[in-house]
Amino acid sequence: MTYTENVRLALQSIQSNRLRTMLTALIIAIGLTALVGILTTLDAVKKSMTDAFSNMGANSFTIRNRGTGIRIGGPGQGPKPFNSIRYEDAVNFKERLQAPATVTISVVATSGATAKYNQEKTNPNILMRGIDENGLAAQGLDLSLGRNISQTEASQGSNVCIIGSEISSSLFKKASPIDQIITVGNHRLKVIGVLASKGSSMGMSTDRAVYIPIYKAKVINTGSNPSYTISVIVPNANLMDNVIGESTAEFRNIRKIKIKEPNNFEITKSDAVAQTLFENLAFIAIGGVAIGVITLIGASIGLMNIMLVSVTERTREIGIRKAIGANPSVIRKQFLIEAVVICLMGGGMGILFGILLGNAISLMMGGAFIIPWLFIIGGFGLCVLVGVVSGYYPAKKASRLDPVEALRYE
């Protein structure tokens, strides 16, 4: 008997027990939905993170007043806070660093603001960030219209801004926003540039951001004690360690840290941040795989039980087939293929739902839509394996039935 005939017989048997078969396939589908869904989500988020960090550039590092805040651990493993990095500290560092590197300063001026122009206004989800003349390049941002903030505007705190593409389309529709006055919070700003659309990345979107001169952000933050972020871009990876060493020494001098005292700031390479995030995602992936595998083990036990019931119900049929010449290998092959077909039915549904669910979660988190071909192929391979493992014992039992005793079975 050919494999095609065995598949046809398997489908006939499945049709005669639709409810039981569909319930078994549904358990398998749930297991694969969990497995493929979690892995698809993590893969999409990882791609989004990779794109975000590639914009920062591999040859860069940041100086902050605290750790990255992405550690995983128990009590005491959180980021250690230090004194805020003042505007004066950041500017002094930028002026005094002699190493061949580009230094840029940034700070959050306000978040959750509303941008307005005449009668039009945005949702209250606008991030206003202060940058200098190197800020856009450091973040890998490009302009679709207008110009960048100049060094003079950055140091004098001019009332100008660069807006994201979503803000431009919300306030100005298809008209040009260049040289128009908008209000962000309580601040009137002249639009000098529009960013090219970048979409969301890691839950953040530059399309809903307003970039203003760094000194203007300092004026806005007068009543608070913000900490400024210093980013240093090194032209050559071979110079990274030397520039970090010189930056550390220079910033210690600026902060007046004594020789035996530890640093009250942290220097973090951009690739180190990415590596830490990817390692943490790997732990989540292991948990997701464990959940999916446990569900599939339960499904395989259920499938084995269904196949044993099927063997019992079809004992007389097996006896007739053996009586007319079917050998044990043919009977064994028939039940094995039937188990694999049920697994593939459930697996197909599970993989489809898993991809849709994973991408839906990824898109809600600002990630990208992906088709994980590796997970699709691996999922179907896993279905075949589960089918063979679950169907082996029932198939073996069916192939060993005595035809005389089987024909007597009622």
Give per-residue pLDDT as tens, 11-53: 777 777 778 788 888 888 888 888 888 888 877 777 776 666 6
The whole-angstrom separation of Cα 164 and Cα 330 is: 67
Please say if the pLDDT value at position 274 is more than 90. no
Domain count, the chain: 2
Residue 64 lies in a domain: no
Report yes or no: 108 and 318 within 8 Å, Cβ to Cβ: no
Q: How much is the mean pLDDT over the chain?
A: 83
The radius of gyration of the chain's CA atoms, rounded to the nearest angstrom, is: 32
In 149-265, beta strands by DSSP E: 160-163, 181-184, 187-195, 200-201, 204-205, 209-213, 229-233
Amino acid at 104: T
The whole-angstrom separation of Cα 31 and Cα 28 is: 5
Q: Are 232 and 319 in the same domain? A: no
Please say if the pLDDT value at position 227 is more than 60. yes
Residue 317 lies in a domain: yes
Phi, psi of 311 (to 5 degrees): -65, -45
Residue 94 lies in a domain: yes
Q: Which of 230, 309, 293 is nearest to 63 (CA)?
A: 230
Span 68-79, pLDDT tens digits: 445 544 444 555
Q: Are 355 and 300 in the same domain? A: yes
3-class secondary structure, 171: helix
In 85-201, beta strands by DSSP E: 102-113, 115-117, 120-121, 126-131, 143-146, 160-163, 181-184, 187-195, 200-201
pLDDT value, residue 68:
47
Highest mean pLDDT among 1-10, 14-23, 28-37, 94-103: 94-103
The whole-angstrom separation of Cα 179 and Cα 231 is: 29
Q: Which of 293, 250, 277, 233 is nearest to 61 (CA)?
A: 233
Please say if the pLDDT value at position 106 is more than 90. yes
Please say if the pLDDT value at position 315 is more than 90. no
| Residue 281 binned pLDDT confidence (cut-offs 50, 70, 90) | confident
Q: Which two tokens stand for residue 19?
A: 């409810």
- In the Cβ-directed half-sphere of 86, how many Cα atoms lie within 13 Å? 6
Q: Which of 216, 159, 210, 164 is nearest to 188 (CA)?
A: 159
The whole-angstrom separation of Cα 146 and Cα 141 is: 13
The whole-angstrom separation of Cα 369 and Cα 278 is: 19
The whole-angstrom separation of Cα 147 and Cα 144 is: 9
Residue 396 lies in a domain: yes
Q: Are 211 and 133 in the same domain? A: yes
Please say if the pLDDT value at position 191 is more than 90. yes
- Which range marks the domain in which residue 384 is found? 3-52+276-408
pLDDT value, residue 154:
93
Amino acid at 260: K
Q: Are 297 and 180 in the same domain? A: no
Number of C-beta neighbours around residue 71 at 10 A: 11
Phi, psi of 262 (to 5 degrees): -75, 165
Number of C-beta neighbours around residue 241 at 10 A: 10
Q: Which residue has the higher pLDDT, 95 or 51?
A: 95
Residue 176 lies in a domain: yes
Q: Are 125 and 203 in the same domain? A: yes
Residue 380 lies in a domain: yes
Using CA atoms in the order 403, 405, 407, 410, what is the torsion angle rounded to 10 degrees? -150
Residue 246 lies in a domain: no
pLDDT value, residue 54:
58
Using CA atoms in the order 293, 299, 305, 308, what is the torsion angle rounded to 10 degrees? -90
Q: Are 38 and 91 in the same domain? A: no
Span 161-181, pLDDT tens digits: 999 999 999 999 889 999 999
Considering only 79-93, 196-210, 222-236, which range has the smallest mean pLDDT?
Answer: 196-210
Residue 109 lies in a domain: yes
What crossing angle do the helices spanning 328-364 and 270-313 adopt, rounded to 10°? 140
What pTM did the predictor assign? 0.61
| Residue 399 binned pLDDT confidence (cut-offs 50, 70, 90) | confident
Q: Are 207 and 290 in the same domain? A: no
Number of C-beta neighbours around residue 400 at 10 A: 10
